[in-house]
């Protein structure tokens, strides 16, 4: 097997994920390590879930810069309060046949709502690109509520009006308040 090192100038990617207590987010530390290794921070997602903080970072750079970053991350991973995972990944191929749509759902909270929504999309060959959901207590009534924002990729050959009608019919049957609109940039 003939293995050669990638060109020094070519762009490679490293996906980094951490879980830490919310008060000790390593975002600044990781951003500095990425820069110090000679890499760029190509994408970052930060969220607080419960009492913990989750970071998903995508570093890009030459293969040797990523190797330097991997060494620095191995040292950081020894911190007892941090769960850190990293691995090499590939750039995402553009998917121009997918149309981005935003789905928003609000309802009284009950088990299984998100499962039924995801099942609907999967059954219709629709890819979930991003998903944020949460439970909260309504200020006015104190009722337990559910809210979700989902970005989906709809194949361009799909009949959007029929898909939207089917989705809204599902939401009506589940007593969910929902919208499905194109993402506007």
- The string of pLDDT tens digits covering residues 129-158 is 999 999 999 999 999 999 999 999 999 999
Domain boundaries, the chain: 12-89, 98-182
pLDDT reported for residue 94: 76
Q: Residue 122 has what pLDDT?
A: 97
The count of C-alpha atoms lying within 13 angstroms of the C-alpha of 124, restricted to the half-sphere facing its C-beta, is 24
pLDDT at res. 10: 59
Residue range 98-182 in CATH 3.30.70.260: yes
- Give the pLDDT score at 3: 38
State residue 77's pLDDT score. Answer: 87
Q: Are 132 and 116 in contact (CB under 8 A)?
A: no
Rounded Cα gap, residues 81 and 130, in angstroms: 27
Domain 12-89 fold: Alpha-Beta Plaits (3.30.70)
Q: Do 113 and 178 touch, CB atoms closer than 8 A? A: no
Residue 2: what pLDDT? Answer: 37
Whether the full predicted model's pTM is greater than 0.85, yes or no, is no
What are the angstrom distances between the C-alpha of 90 and each of 11, 13, 61, 107? 9, 6, 12, 38
Is residue 178 within 8 Å of residue 103, measured between CB atoms? Answer: yes
**Same fold: 12-89 with 98-182:** yes
Q: Which residues of the chain have a pLDDT value below 70?
A: 1-10
């Amino acid at each position: 097997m003939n293995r050669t090192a990638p060109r020094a100038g070519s762009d490679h990617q490293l996906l980094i994920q951490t879980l830490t207590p919310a008060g000790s987010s390593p975002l600044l530390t990781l951003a500095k390590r990425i820069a110090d290794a000679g890499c760029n921070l190509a994408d970052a997602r930060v969220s607080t879930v419960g009492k913990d903080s989750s970071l998903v970072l995508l570093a890009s750079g030459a293969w040797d810069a990523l190797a330097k970053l991997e060494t620095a991350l191995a040292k950081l991973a020894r911190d007892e309060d941090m769960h850190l995972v990293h691995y090499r990944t590939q750039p995402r191929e553009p998917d121009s046949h997918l149309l981005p749509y935003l789905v928003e759902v609000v309802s009284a909270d009950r088990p299984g709502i998100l499962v039924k929504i995801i099942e609907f999309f999967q059954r219709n060959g629709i890819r979930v690109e991003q998903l944020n959901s949460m439970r909260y207590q309504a200020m006015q009534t104190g009722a337990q509520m559910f809210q979700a924002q989902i970005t989906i990729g709809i194949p361009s050959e799909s009949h959007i009006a029929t898909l939207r009608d089917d989705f809204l019919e599902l939401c009506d049957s589940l007593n969910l308040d929902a919208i499905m609109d194109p993402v506007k940039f």
